Amino acid sequence: MTFSQLGISTELIKELSNQGITAPYPIQEKAIPAILKQRDVLGIAQTGSGKTASYVLPILMKLKGKTATKTRDVNTLVLVPTRELAVQVGEVFTSLSKSLSYAVKTMSVFGGVSINPQMKGMYGVNVLVATPGRLLELLENKALYISNVETLVLDEADKMLNLGFKEEMNSIFRLLPLLRQNLLFSATLSPEVLSIERVLLNNPETIKIESAETNIELITQTGYFVTEENKGPLLRKLINDNKMNQVLIFTSSTKEADKVSDKLHNNGISSRAIHSKKTQGNRQESLALFKKGKLQTLVATDLLSRGIDIEFLPFVVNYELPRSPKDFIHRIGRTGRADNPGEAITFVTEEDKHHFKVIQKKMKRWVDMVDTAEWRDL
């Protein structure tokens, strides 16, 4: 199946080709035709499955001839749970609309930054990507109107509900027109997501893509038995000996993330930490540098384990194990995407051994282990 066969325009195919994207993902093969036919869609797919482009491409096509009006009425509304995802989705809309013969104005809005520039920039916006709380603030200030929205997208709907946005989402739904297209995407089909689906969607096309577990075969996994005090030296040795670049390192706390990042930086390995205690500007800058390959390592808490898409990420390191096997799979699922091999490295202390066995059992895959007890150069 090609993008042309899915009904995507030559302008958009040209931009996809410029970005090195030549073939659609499974979710795109199913979602794009349904969205172009004005069907409501319920898509169940993990991060990295190509779901963002599966709604961005047909929405950009549907906007042809509708972008000239300079008002505060938004045509397409995309609701997302986090600031990082708002920025990422906005970037996908902007990058894919570069080759279009018609201008599409996309704006991403979220809390944690001044609302004034967002209010001023709302004029003539076609696609608004927003977190629920900030959107309600903008609506209260009459910075925009959503009574003429033609397409509503809920991205990472399960996470929005888990973060307690249900009340805000219901307030937003009440302000939307009855006649509109609804697209709901979620990593899981929880009872809460089903309750939203029943209220929101009209005879939807249901698409379910299994991705995290199936992609695991693309990932080379290695575990290292290590003491707590030798984790830092081992990490630096692996990075230096293997000339590793673009290494995403996971810790379990903000304090540990800062500590690991500082140690790397002090030993000549460029690094930044990204977590909830960093400012929004700092987080965005760190992500941008890392995505461009200008930052060798990024140390993160599980804030990043879902929702942020870093294409062709070669290395993930579990400096500390996550609490659940599902979080482990989400973490290592950052690498080994789109048929590109990736490598996941996991540090396992004596206290971690039982928990790591549970993770491997759930993953249905046993990881080759290396014992570093005899290594003299740590």
Instruction: Give residue limits of the domains in the chain.
Output: 10-210, 213-371
Equal CATH topology for 10-210 and 213-371: yes
Contact present, 235 and 259 (Cβ < 8 Å): no
Coil, strand or helix: which one is 135?
helix
Secondary structure, 3-state, 296-318: CEEEECHHHCCCCCCCCECEEEE
Instruction: Please say whether the dihedral angle defined by the alpha carbons of residues 192, 194, 196 and 199, taken in this order, is positive or negative.
Output: negative
What single-letter DSSP state applies at residue 366? P
d(Cα 147, Cα 38) in Å, to the nearest integer? 19
What is the full per-residue pLDDT of the chain (378 aa) written as tens digits? 899 999 999 999 999 888 768 889 899 999 999 999 999 999 998 766 789 999 999 999 999 988 767 789 999 999 999 988 998 899 899 989 988 999 999 999 999 899 999 999 999 999 999 999 999 999 999 999 999 999 999 999 988 888 888 899 999 999 999 999 999 999 888 888 888 888 899 999 999 986 544 467 778 999 999 999 999 999 999 999 999 999 999 999 899 999 999 999 999 999 999 887 787 678 878 888 998 889 999 999 876 555 456 667 899 999 999 988 878 887 887 786 655 678 999 999 999 999 999 999 988 899 999 999 878 777
Tokens of 272: 């930044």
- The residues, ordered by sequence, that sit 6+ positions from 174 with a Cβ below 8 Å of its Cβ are none
Query: pLDDT digit string (tens) for 323-367?
Result: 888 788 878 877 866 556 789 999 999 999 999 999 999 888 999
Contact present, 196 and 231 (Cβ < 8 Å): no
Query: Mean pLDDT in the chain?
Result: 89
- The residues, ordered by sequence, that sit 6+ positions from 114 with a Cβ below 8 Å of its Cβ are none
d(Cα 51, Cα 306) in Å, to the nearest integer? 13
Beta partners for residue 42, in sequence order: 184, 206
Residue 109 phi/psi, 5-degree rounding, is -130, 140
364, with CB counted inside 10 A (0-12, 13-18, 19+), is: exposed
Query: Domain spanning 213-371 has what CATH number?
Result: 3.40.50.300
Closest CA to 66 of 147, 151, 139: 151
State the residue for tokens 């938004």: 74
Coil, strand or helix: which one is 43?
strand
- The residues, ordered by sequence, that sit 6+ positions from 90 with a Cβ below 8 Å of its Cβ are 106, 107, 108, 129
Query: What is the number of other CB atoms lying within 10 angstroms of the CB of residue 117?
Result: 10
Residue 123 phi/psi, 5-degree rounding, is -65, 125
Fold adopted by 10-210: Rossmann fold (3.40.50)
Pairing of strands 127-130, 76-79: parallel
State the residue for tokens 């946005």: 165
pLDDT at 267: 97
Pairing of strands 181-186, 151-154: parallel
Query: pLDDT digit string (tens) for 5-39?
Result: 999 999 999 998 887 688 898 999 999 999 999 99
Q: Is the pTM of this model over 0.95?
A: no
Query: pLDDT digit string (tens) for 177-197?
Result: 999 999 999 988 888 888 888
Residue 59 phi/psi, 5-degree rounding, is -65, -45
- The residues, ordered by sequence, that sit 6+ positions from 59 with a Cβ below 8 Å of its Cβ are 35, 76, 93, 127, 151, 153
Sheet holding 127-130, edge to edge: 106-109, 127-130, 76-79, 151-154, 181-186, 41-44, 205-208
